[in-house]
């Protein structure tokens, strides 16, 4: 995805900022499935995206049996970071920050990825903890005034992990990063084309058991304390943006139209049933579903359906903000 292509003159010089003048910053997010770039102008908690790119490098491909990042995936990822760094530099940001999440932090050969990115781009990589990732997801989402001040259960389903944050205003009652992700599940279940009914049952059963075992004991207690009926479920990240884009019938990502989209439990269920019933080639032709995400969308939408069912949440709100928005706000 991309916002603007021709950078205007910077509002302030590199490294400069003031209480009334925005400062430009860039964040490159190295995830398990994709590398993403955000260049933005930041003033306090207001973030104005100027340039956004996403490239699927599938860093977590072939990772989960050995917990070693594969050489080809490392190379693709480092090259994407170098290209995004060059694109960001044209906007004269005060800083270009590179952060890496689930696959990088779990990798036995993390140092190889860090060294290859440094060699390709000259940039140092911050491998952030799951706790830090969850905190930034929360802070990024509530930078939208529409979500600030409300009791929220925020979920960011990534390729290797999913972050769950339950909070209201600036206070977080529950925050955790779980080893549950789209690439992780895709590699575990190795679905047929189209997926067989038995494969869906196996994946669904796995998700239900995972939620009951890993999430429900602590999260359910906190939800009761906040009165579940008052809590709004907010999804952020690639899966929910795609689900909203499909539901709205958009040809491509459009932040202004996607932000705040409401998906009912029934709409999520219908999307899951349809996506799991058709072949990969057909999914690649669905408006709003990027062709290279037509495989990982299956476990992604399944996770949200399972969550809504288990915790009796009837509506999913979509946020296009999250991790990168919070990271770019950091001075």
Give the contacts of 20 (CB within 8 A, at least 6 positions apart). Answer: 43
Q: How confident is the model at residue 7 (pLDDT cuts 50, 70, 90)?
A: low
Q: Which residues of the chain form CATH 3.30.420.40?
A: 23-128
CB 183 within 8 A of CB 160: yes
More confident residue, 274 or 18: 274
The per-residue pLDDT for 17 is 47
Q: Using the predicted structure, report yes or no on whether residue 19 has a pLDDT greater than 70.
A: no
Task: Give the mean pLDDT of the chain.
Answer: 93
Q: How confident is the model at residue 230 (pLDDT cuts 50, 70, 90)?
A: confident
Give the contacts of 252 (CB within 8 A, at least 6 positions apart). Answer: 1, 245, 288
Q: Using the predicted structure, report yes or no on whether residue 34 has a pLDDT greater than 90.
A: yes
Strands (E), 88-207: 96-100, 125-127, 151-157, 162-168, 171-178
pLDDT in tens, 296-308: 999 999 999 999 9
Q: Which CATH number is associated with domain 23-128? A: 3.30.420.40
Q: Using the predicted structure, report yes or no on whether residue 6 has a pLDDT greater than 70.
A: no
186: left (phi over 0), alpha (psi -120 to 50) or beta: alpha
User: Quick check: bond before 194 cis, omega within 30?
Assistant: yes
Q: Using the predicted structure, report yes or no on whether residue 87 has a pLDDT greater than 70.
A: yes
CB 259 within 8 A of CB 317: no
The per-residue pLDDT for 20 is 81
pLDDT in tens, 105-148: 999 999 999 999 999 999 999 999 999 999 999 999 999 999 98
Q: Using the predicted structure, report yes or no on whether residue 240 has a pLDDT greater than 90.
A: yes
Give the contacts of 78 (CB within 8 A, at least 6 positions apart). Answer: 113, 116, 117, 119, 120, 121
Q: What is the mean pLDDT of residues 13-23?
A: 64
pLDDT in tens, 177-229: 999 999 999 999 999 999 999 999 999 999 999 999 999 999 999 988 887 67
Name the superfamily (CATH) of residues 140-325: Exopolyphosphatase. Domain 2 (3.30.420.150)
The per-residue pLDDT for 4 is 42
Q: What is the mean pLDDT of residues 322-328?
A: 97
Report if pTM > 0.95.
no
Give CA angle at 35 (3, 173), nearest 5°: 90
Q: Which residues of the chain form CATH 3.30.420.150?
A: 140-325
């Amino acid at each position: 995805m991309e916002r603007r292509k021709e950078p205007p003159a910077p509002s302030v010089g590199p490294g400069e900022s003031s209480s009334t003048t925005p400062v430009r910053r860039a964040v490159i997010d190295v995830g398990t499935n994709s590398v993403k770039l955000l260049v933005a102008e930041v003033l306090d908690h207001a973030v104005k995206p100027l340039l956004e790119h996403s490239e699927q490098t599938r860093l977590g491909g072939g990772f989960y049996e050995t917990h070693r990042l594969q050489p080809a995936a490392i190379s693709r990822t480092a090259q994407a970071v170098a290209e995004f760094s060059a694109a960001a530099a044209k906007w004269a940001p005060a800083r270009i920050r590179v952060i890496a999440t689930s696959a990088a932090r779990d990798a036995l050969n993390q140092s190889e990825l860090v060294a290859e990115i440094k060699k390709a781009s000259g940039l140092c990589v911050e491998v952030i903890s799951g706790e830090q990732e969850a905190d930034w997801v929360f802070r990024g989402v509530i930078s939208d005034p529409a979500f600030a001040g409300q009791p929220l259960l925020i979920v960011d389903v990534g390729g290797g992990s999913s972050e769950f944050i339950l909070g209201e205003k600036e206070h977080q009652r529950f925050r955790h990063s779980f080893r549950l992700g789209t690439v992780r599940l895709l590699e575990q279940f190795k679905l047929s084309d189209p997926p067989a009914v038995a494969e869906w049952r196996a994946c669904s059963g796995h998700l239900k058991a995972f939620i009951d075992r890993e999430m429900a004991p602590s999260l359910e207690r906190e939800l009761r304390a906040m009165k579940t009926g008052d809590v709004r479920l907010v999804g952020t990240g690639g899966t929910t943006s795609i689900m909203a884009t499909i539901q709205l019938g958009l040809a491509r990502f459009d932040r202004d139209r996607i932000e705040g989209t409401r998906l009912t439990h029934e709409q999520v269920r219908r999307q899951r049933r349809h996506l799991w019933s058709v072949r990969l080639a057909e999914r690649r032709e669905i408006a709003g579903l990027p062709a290279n995400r037509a495989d990982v969308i299956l476990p992604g939408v399944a996770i949200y359906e399972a969550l809504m069912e288990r915790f009796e949440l009837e509506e999913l709100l979509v946020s296009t903000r999250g991790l990168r928005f919070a990271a770019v706000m950091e001075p």
